[in-house]
Amino acid sequence: MNYTEFLLWVRGPAFHFATAILVLGLTLRFLEMLFLGSPRQYAAVRSNGIAGGIRTVISRFAPPEPGVFQRSWFIIVAGYLFHLGFFISFFLFAPHIILLKQVLGVSWPGLPAPVINIITIVSLFAMITLLINRWYYPVLRFLSDFEDYLSWTLAFLPLFTGYLAFHHIWLPYPLMLALHILSVEILMIVLPFTKLIHTFTFIIARWTNGARAAQKGVQV
């Protein structure tokens, strides 16, 4: 198999397979969650919970209480840099927008490549420092299991291979591009079955918690 065939394979059958597993996994997990149901509420609800749901979705973007940021500022800042960087480089890089237009049918303007480049470097740096931090603190290290390292690796590889492909480092561009796409496909396959599913569930989880909390208590 030469690199053209490999690239065609990752753009074709491998992508179809990864998409199928992603869709199957997400459908399965969401239905599972739906079937779990919610606990019966015996008291009269205070409100419909919509405002509370929206409030929690937004408020949890910030550290919960004073002091938390001072104690864990590094994890919060590096975590934000990585997440935002991943989000921006995924959604605002022109070649990705073309791909998303094909899949989702909608399009939006992108950012210039050098900007994406800098954001990717910052993201990669943030991820590496977060990993070092995880190893450095005994408690964090103790709490980390295989799934944590797997999640880190699967999130790191698309950014890293994308950066290498863009700059033509190590391997010919078509081969590195194929590896980049493959790394995303592995992420797509694993995502629904690990904690990486938070990509899709974090808003639902925040909403549910916020809405239920808002429904409790005495109506004033």
Partner 1 sequence: MTKQLTIGESLRSQGISRREFMKFCTTAASLMAVPPALIPQLAKALENTPRQSVIWLSFQECTGCTESLTRSQAPNLESLIFNTISLDYHHTLQAASGAAAELARTEAMKANHGKYLLVVDGSIPLANPGYSTIAGLSNKDVLLEVVEGAKAVIAVGTCAAFGGLPKAAPNPTGAVAVQDLITDKPIVNIPGCPPIPIVISSVIAHYVTFGVLPQLDGLKRPLSFFGQNIHDRCYRRPFYERGRFAESFDDEGAKQGWCLYKLGCKGPVTYNACAIFKWNDAVSFPIEAGHGCLGCSEPDFWDAGGFYQALSVPLTGAATAASYAMVGGAAIGVVGGLLNRQKKSEAKQHHEVVSIEDLKRT
What six digits make up the tokens of 176?
């590195």
Q: Is 111 in the site for partner 1 (CB under 8 A)?
A: yes
Among positions 54, 75, 84, 99, the unique one binding partner 1 when judged by CB under 8 A:
99
Q: Is 200 in the site for partner 1 (CB under 8 A)?
A: no
Between residues 29 and 83, which has the closer beta carbon with respect to partner 1? 29
Among positions 39, 64, 66, 114, the unique one binding partner 1 when judged by CB under 8 A:
114
Between residues 53 and 180, which has the closer beta carbon with respect to partner 1? 180
Please count the other Cβ atoms lying within 10 Å of the Cβ belonging to residue 147.
Answer: 13
Backbone torsions φ then ψ of 111, nearest 5 degrees: -100, 155
Among positions 39, 64, 66, 109, the unique one binding partner 1 when judged by CB under 8 A:
109
Binding mask 55-74 for partner 1 (x = CB under 8 A): --------------------
CA–CA gap between residue 138 and residue 120 (Å, rounded): 29
Among positions 148, 164, 174, 209, the unique one binding partner 1 when judged by CB under 8 A:
174
Backbone torsions φ then ψ of 93, nearest 5 degrees: -90, 130
Burial of 65 (0-12, 13-18, 19+ CB in 10 A): exposed
What six digits make up the tokens of 150?
């797997």
What six digits make up the tokens of 162?
């994308």
Q: Is 42 in the site for partner 1 (CB under 8 A)?
A: no
Q: Is 12 in the site for partner 1 (CB under 8 A)?
A: yes
Q: At what angle do helices 146-167 and 173-190 cross, to 10 degrees?
A: 150
Residue ranges in contact with partner 1 by CB under 8 A: 2-5, 7-8, 11-12, 15-17, 19-32, 34-37, 94-96, 98-99, 102-103, 109-114, 168, 172-174, 177
